[in-house]
Amino acid sequence: MDRTHLELQLQGYGLTTAEILYRMPDFPAMLQTYVWQDYDLEPDFPKMHGFLRFWRTRLDGPLHSVRFAHKRLIAPGEWRNVSGEFVLH
């Protein structure tokens, strides 16, 4: 069963974006860019490493470099359960 983005964020996942530079198989002197984005866990980043492992084993374009950024969208201090509500007017 797939979890929603909110469920992932509440379990500590953050949004990870990777900029992947790779060499074109037919033109090795030329670099191409691919942007990958998914919710992942820091500091090990298992989803990103899994994707890069897939790339190295199944795709023809050899990797040149990978730059990534990670941001937890919901931090522990930002989430709290609201038990009541006041309505004005």
* d(C-alpha 23, C-alpha 71), whole Å: 28
Amino acid making up residue 70: H
DSSP helix/strand/coil, 30: coil
Contact assessment for residue 39 and residue 9, using Cβ atoms and an 8 Å cutoff: yes
pLDDT, one tens digit per residue, over 9-33 is 888 899 999 999 999 999 999 999 9
Contact assessment for residue 39 and residue 5, using Cβ atoms and an 8 Å cutoff: yes
pLDDT, one tens digit per residue, over 30-51 is 999 999 999 999 999 999 999 9
